[in-house]
Amino acid sequence: MERIRNFSIIAHIDHGKSTIADRLLELTGSISDRELKAQVLDSMDLERERGITIKSHAVQMTYRAEDGETYTLNLIDTPGHVDFSYEVSRSLAACEGAILVVDAAQGIEAQTLSNLYLALDADLEIIPVLNKIDLPGAEPEKVRAQVAELIGCDEEEILLASAKNNIGIEAMLEAIVERVPPPKGDPDAPLQALVFDSIFDTYRGAVAFVRVFNGTLRQGEAIRFFAHDNHYDAEEVGLLKLKRIKTSEIPTGSVGYVIASIKDVRDTKVGDTITYRREGADKPLPGYQEIKPMVFSGIYPTDNEDFEDLRDALEKYTLNDASLVFQPETSAALGFGFRCGFLGLLHMEIVQERLSREFDLDIITTLPNVEYHAHTKRGEEKIVDNPQQMPPVGDLERVEEPYIKAQIVTPSEYVGNIMKLAMDKRGEYINTEYIDPTRADLHFEFPLGEIIFDFYDKLKSGTRGYASFDYEYIGYRPSDLVKIDILLNGEPVDALSMIAHRDKAYDWGRKVSSKLKELLPRQMYEIVVQAAIGSKVISRTVVKALRKNVLAKCYGGDVTRKRKLLEKQKEGKKRMKQVGNVEIPQEAFLAVLQIED
Amino acid sequence: MTPRYGVYLHVPFCRRKCGYCDFYSATVLDLAPAYLDALVTEIDRRASGGSVETIYFGGGTPSLLTPEEIGRILDRVAARFSIEQDAEITMEANPGALSRERLADYRAAGVNRLSVGVQSFHPEELRFLERIHSAEEARATVLAAAEAGFARISVDLMFGTPSQSVEAHRGNLLAALALPVEHLSVYSLTYEPETPLGRALKRGDVTPASDDLDADLYEATIDALAERGFRRYETSSFAPRGAECRHNLRYWRRREYYGFGPAAHSFLAETRRANLGETGAYIRDIRDGGTGAGETERLTREDALLETVMLSLRAEGIDLAAFGEAFGEEERAALLSRLSAEIAEGLLERAEGRLRVARRGYALVDAIVERALERRVR
């Protein structure tokens, strides 16, 4: 145990976490050049493309240090986005130390801070590293001072590196050995192994990645999880190198995997604790939380005939990502689809993109919304994750919405823009801390519902892309919220309903109805487009009736030509959705998603 | 019972090609003799006997053929089919260079109905359409035809040329009605992509009439002609009852017809056939022992249903009893239920056992047809 080091690498997006991981693997001989596909830890295409790690994995290295001893280093990778902050916290809980990577040109960003706070919460030894020091724009001195100030360490403790050019990697390994404490734990105590991640293996079922805190996890023993009552046998345990390496046991302080014919990844929940069925621990390791989706949206197949394909795709998807929840729902406008719950915005985007990319599905998504708590006058509390479920205005006593605490790091010249954006988004200003005279760290509280729209894009455009943003949930608060319905010839288009603050409802209603007026093709009848709160119409526009749609000629008995034309039009129409007698093109639903708040 | 047919004969020659036209034609007449030989050979090879109710010479400009040549073709049709006593025999003609004598010769050769491609009586509009005749020549041709013994004369008009007003179009209609005509074909100018005009539109060199103006022009047509007893019996066809073009009615009613000549279309035994489109290729194929056939498509039941709806709604409406018989009661009920909103809104009406487009729906036939053919689950 004295020669085990468990650590993570934490960083803001693009500061070089994955490249550093690659170099550590190379230098310790854990991977050959040939095996080295750039950024090994990010195995999904999408992750590589976005430069973020979505699912955490772990890998074991062996390192012979300058003191002549050989150490086992377990690198536990963490997801890099706030949507996954709980998962990050569980990965960090499996470690004793963390390498905090800061881009020497970019300096401290919002996720640098949020990840650092998570690491400090987990009592980790922090090894600060400035990466990309040889980039033309690098300002190592300035950023070093920022980081020293932030952590409260000496500037000499901060390592300088350029992972791309293999500078400073060995020093990092030495620092891990010297500064990160070895794991503590009682080999004779009852087994407590923390599940920090899991994946689904088509042949073996769920594979849980664990860190053993107390006792030893032995192959063949009867095990149980604290989060549910299912019992399993630890059929196979082992270490995590680039591949899984079977062993007979995972000793105290070590990291490894366990396979136990677990059919569903939902039974290997991140943060759960494994113990033995006989003579097991009497309580789990602290920190477990049931993950709850925070953002919801309907996902519908463009073609109703693809409903079963969509279900299959969602089921396959959740084999590996138990945090996505979905259940069938029906929309009068869109037909049969699913209401899906996501951890956050990024998670939603990833799911949507992977559904279309990996499963080749053509889907329509509805406006995202958060989960509201509607309190009725009769004293009931109703959970509303779809605007349709909102009780009528007359029955409502109050509605509560989730709030977040947001941290925005920005060059100081953009503070004004951010203040304005925050005001537009119903933000409550808390305070500003200056990282140095040119960089501000602003704190706000926002309704989450405001953030899931175009907040991120607006933040980027208002700060020329320099601001970074991170948030955490803080709870529910009452707000003056209303449901806005969009009606076409008096028929509500359920998929376009939305819950918004009363002050913004009129503006929203007007924008949606004018967008629809633009996109609805003229049809045989006049289309009245209305936005309404309850029975009160707040906006009204009209799409005039189509006046002429007939081909003048039917060419000298050439009926085929006209029939083909008609068939082509029919094919195009198949993609239209219908509410009452009004046909709505796909673009209308997509365009509403693009409307700026 | 003897089978009855219509016969369409395509004459693929024009003096000059109009900018809007995408019918097949060539401006050189060198091929005319070879074409004639090929045409009569095609008739010989394909004709199956039976009687012929209507004959239609279309083009192109059939009046570029001499009365003797027209006579030769008709003789061959008569030799291979039996032309009915009161058969309707139409020839399309363009104004200009048609003397009363020559017209009388066509009449003598057997042609009994003339369709004159006037298009407009306004010099500017004629120029835009690249017509080579003047308004005066158009009037003269129609009058000469009447004098030559044509009791059945139809005139083609076009509306929707850029900057044409409703008044100007009404002027065209009245000018046509002042002539001895019993039938008008009134078309909205269509910008076909593969024509000089279509390309000009794509380049942005012409501004088409707005949809609203186009609709106004069409409504004005229907109203002005109705006042004079010319009933709209098909989207673009107007005539007093009894003066309808029987040949074209065969198209809307899905009655069988032979199409001879390059690019001609036939409908026989639920099969649609298009002849080779290019005159040279057509002639070579006939010389090589073929019949000039291009694409042939045997229609499925679904195709037939689609055609029935599409064609009937343009003209006299869907005969509901016949529809039920042909496609089943279930289809009939489904059709009516899909169109219930249009019936309720007065775009369609049920009368005389038919479901037909009402006055309010005349301009929306294609949209109604689309609705009628939807198979989508709601």
Chain A CB contacts of B24 under 8 Å are: none
Strand partners, A432: A442
Residue pair A212/A252 in contact (Cβ under 8 Å)? The answer is: yes
- State the DSSP string of B136-197: HHHHHHHHHHHHTT-SEEEEEEEE--TT--HHHHHHHHHHHHTSS-SEEEEEE----TTSHH
Residue A522 buriedness (CB in 10 A; 0-12 / 13-18 / 19+): middle
B329 vs A: CB within 8 A:
no
Residue with tokens 């396979």: A259
What is the per-residue burial (b if ≥16 Cβ within 10 Å, else e) of A32-67?
eeeeeeebbbbeeeebeebebbbbbbbbbbebebee
| Structure tokens belonging to residue A322 | 């138990």
Nearest to A559 among B189, B307, B366 (CB): B307
Q: Which runs of consecutive H residues, i.e. helices, occur in B204-339?
A: 211-227, 246-252, 279-287, 301-314, 320-327, 329-338
Whether residue A573 and residue B297 make contact (CB cut-off 8 A), yes or no, is no
Q: Is the pLDDT of residue A53 over 50?
A: no
Residues 8-47 of B with CB under 8 A from A: 8, 10, 23
Coil, helix or strand at residue A141: helix
Summarize pLDDT for B29-54 with one digit per residue, the tens. 788 999 999 999 999 999 989 999 99
Question: Is residue B321 very low, low, confident or very high in pLDDT (cuts 50, 70, 90)?
Answer: very high
B320 vs A: CB within 8 A:
no
Distance CA A497, CA A486 (A): 6
pTM for this prediction: 0.73
B265-268 vs B4-11, strand pairing mode: unpaired
Summarize pLDDT for A407-461 with one digit per residue, the tens. 999 999 999 999 999 999 999 999 999 988 888 999 999 999 999 878 888 898 8
Distance CA A176, CA A126 (A): 10
For residue A52, the model assigns a pLDDT of 38
Coil, helix or strand at residue A185: coil
- To test the contact with chain B by mutation, choose from A550, A570, A581 the residue with the greatest count of B C-beta atoms within 10 A, namely A550
The CA-atom distances, in angstroms, between A525 and each of A165, B183, B221 are 67, 32, 22
Residue B1 buriedness (CB in 10 A; 0-12 / 13-18 / 19+): exposed
Q: Is the pLDDT of residue A307 over 60?
A: yes
Q: Which architecture does CATH list for B4-252?
A: Alpha-Beta Barrel (3.20)
Nearest to A581 among B214, B251, B341 (CB): B341
A571 vs B: CB within 8 A:
no
Whether residue A574 and residue B376 make contact (CB cut-off 8 A), yes or no, is yes
CA atoms within 13 A on the CB side of A266: 12
Residue A146 buriedness (CB in 10 A; 0-12 / 13-18 / 19+): buried
Distance CA A445, CA A427 (A): 6
Q: Residues spanned by CATH 1.10.10.920 within chain B?
A: 301-372
Distance CA A463, CA A468 (A): 9
Q: 3-state SS of chain A: helix, strand, coil percent to 5?
A: 30, 35, 35
Q: What is the mean pLDDT of residues A322-330?
A: 90
Coil, helix or strand at residue A301: strand
| Structure tokens belonging to residue B33 | 């003799």
Residues 205-244 of B with CB under 8 A from A: 211-212, 214-215, 218, 235-236
- To test the contact with chain A by mutation, choose from B169, B303, B364 the residue with the greatest count of A C-beta atoms within 10 A, namely B364
Chain A CB contacts of B306 under 8 Å are: 563, 566-567
Distance CA A290, CA A300 (A): 27
The C-alpha torsion from B253 through B256 and B260 to B266, rounded to 10°, is 80
Summarize pLDDT for A176-231 with one digit per residue, the tens. 999 999 999 999 999 999 999 888 888 899 999 999 999 999 999 999 999 988 89
Chain A CB contacts of B259 under 8 Å are: 556-557
Residues 259-278 of B with CB under 8 A from A: 259, 264-267, 272, 274
Query: Which residue type sits at A191?
Result: L
Q: What is the mean pLDDT of chain A?
A: 89
Q: Do you know the residue count of chain A? A: 597
- Give the distance from residue B362's alpha carbon to the nearest chain A alpha carbon, in angstroms: 8
CA atoms within 13 A on the CB side of B108: 11
Residues 285-304 of B with CB under 8 A from A: 295, 297, 303
Chain A CB contacts of B92 under 8 Å are: none
What is the per-residue burial (b if ≥16 Cβ within 10 Å, else e) of A219-250?
bebebbbbbeeeebebebbbbbeeebeebebb
With CA atoms as reference, report the closest residue to B62 among B103, B34, B123: B103
Whether residue B215 and residue A547 make contact (CB cut-off 8 A), yes or no, is yes
- Give the distance from residue A485's alpha carbon to the nearest chain B alpha carbon, in angstroms: 21
**Class for the domain spanning B301-372:** mainly alpha
Please state which of the ranges A236-240, A559-563, B140-144 shows the lowest mean pLDDT: A559-563
Chain B CB contacts of A336 under 8 Å are: none
| Structure tokens belonging to residue A211 | 């860190």
The CA-atom distances, in angstroms, between A156 and each of A7, A24, A150, A153 are 21, 22, 14, 8
Task: Give chain B's radius of gyration (CA, Å).
Answer: 21
Distance CA B281, CA B287 (A): 10
